[in-house]
Structure 1
Amino acid sequence: MRILLIEDDPKTAAFIIKGLGQEGFAVDHAADGEIGLHLASEFPFDAAVVDIMLPKRDGLSVIECLRKQQNPIPVIVLSARSSVEDRIKGLQVGADDYLMKPFAFSELLARIQALLRRASAQTDPTSLTVADLRMDLVRKKAFRADREIELQPKEFSLLEYLMRNTGRVVSKTMIMEHVWDYNFDPQTNVVETRICRLREKIDRGTEAKLIRTVRGMGYVLE
């Protein structure tokens, strides 16, 4: 999952980026409203975390612009403003949630996960299943039949993306857009390497191979 963070305070941004990275999210960071609006308009994101007090363009203006563009990205507002009027204004311009500073990272994470569940409209938002492969999204665990699969955070994110697109061929570019951030070098072979490791972990010792390479197009889990 790919998150856009628009936050001008370096310490707060570093705190969020580190925490979300450890949870397997790819995070793109913008330190002002204009860059944030550009990124949200040009690149696909699964959710955005937006501070209100930003240089060049404030967070509410960014959200209002995105909604005028018919951009449905789920947005959580971060703000030190605690009045009811401020919270109402944030929701009225198009934010989906409002979190006051200071905040606990665990609460921010829970709110992001709740937004992603609603956006994906999963009938069972806590788990994904394909054949005998099962992913527990809450406990961050994956199983093939009764065997638990040990996955690194990026491997978990990659498998989750493949499972959410079961039967659909996803290209290297699509994978990089959702699992890695936009600064990632597209010329590297990191996707191929991660797919190879993931396939080895998922399909090892089984007759049914779930992850398949579609030559010249990408990868599919089916």
Structure 2
Amino acid sequence: MRLLLVEDERHLSDAIAHLLKAKKYIVDCCYDGEAGLEYGLRGIYDVIILDVMLPKRNGFDVLNMIRQYDVTTPVLLLTAKDQVSDKVHGLDLGADDYLTKPFSTEELLARIRALLRRQGNVLTEDCLRFKETSLHLSTHELCHGEKKIQLGLKEFNLMSCLLHHKRQIVTKEMLIEKVWGYDADVDYNNVEVYISFLRKKLQFIKSPLMIKAVRGVGYTLGGGEE
């Protein structure tokens, strides 16, 4: 899962990013509204964590522009403002949730998990599941029944992305941006190699899941009977 964090307070941003990375999220950080808007419009994130009080563009403006361009990524607003009018304004602009500073790390993580669930992802605190196959976020283990196997970091991130978009076509461009990063010097062959690794590991644990290639586009994850 790839998250975008737009927060201009560097110490707070570093602390949140460290927390999220420890929970196996991939995190991109921006420190002003202009950069946050540029990154947010890419549409590659699973959740955007957006501070309201930002230099160059405030969070309300960034949120408004993101929604005007039909980016549907869930947005969690962070702000020191606790007035009801500010909360209502943010929600009316298209925010999915609102967290007032200071906040506990447990609440932040819980709200992120809730936003991911609203997207239709079967997510517990430490596990993604699909058709009795599970991916454990803390150990990077892929399991089915009593069989399990450890995934490397790139394999884990690819499998996480496919599970979050199960039964949907995930383009190779999206996989590169989510797993390697927007500016990474990676070609499609890298994706194909890691997809091959994942297929072998799914076979090893006797999972019914299949990663099917969509010629010239990308991949889709489904059950063996689909």
1-side partners of 2:34 and 2:65: how far apart? 11
Aligned match of 1:58: 58
Q: Which residue of 1 aligns with 2:149?
A: 149
Q: Match for residue 38 of structure 1?
A: 38
Aligned-pair identity (%): 38
**Local SS of the residue matching 1:55:** coil
For residues 208 and 59 of structure 1, do their structure 2 counterparts lie closer, same or farther at Cα, with a shift above 3 Å needed? closer
* TM-score normalized by the length of structure 1: 0.78
CA-to-aligned-CA distance 1:33-91 (integer Å, 9 cap, x gap): 11211222234222211111111111111112222333322111111223333323322
Deviation at residue 105 of structure 1 after TM alignment: 2.6
Matches within 5 A, 1:1-222: 1-118=1-118, 120-122=119-121, 124-126=122-124, 127-130=128-131, 133-135=133-135, 142-151=142-151, 154-166=154-166, 170-187=170-187, 191-192=191-192, 194-204=194-204, 206=206, 210-211=210-211, 218-222=218-222
Count residues with an aligned counterpart.
219
8 Å contact from structure 1 (residues 143, 149) kept in 2: yes
Over the aligned positions, Cα root-mean-square deviation in angstroms equals: 3.3
Q: Which moved more, 1:90-99 or 1:46-55?
A: 90-99
Decide whether aligned partners of structure 1 residues 186 and 51 sit closer, same or farther in structure 2, where only a CA change above 3 A counts: same
CA contact 2:52–2:79 (8 Å) conserved in 1: yes
Deviates more, 1:1-10 or 1:205-214: 205-214
| TM-score computed with the length of structure 2 as normaliser | 0.77
Return 5+ residue gaps in structure 2 as ranges: none
CA contact (8 A) 1:74 1:115 kept: yes
Cα distance in structure 1, aligned partners of 2:70 and 2:39: 15
The answer to which of 27-36 and 201-210 deviates more is: 201-210
Given the superposition, is the C-alpha separation of residues 203 and 156 from structure 1 closer, same or farther in structure 2, using an over 3 Å criterion? same
**Quick one: higher RCO (CA 8 Å, sep 6+), 1 or 2?**
1
Q: Are the structure 2 counterparts of residues 185 and 13 from structure 1 closer, same or farther at C-alpha, using a change threshold of 3 Å? A: farther
- CA distance, structure 1, for counterparts of residue 123 and residue 81 of structure 2: 32
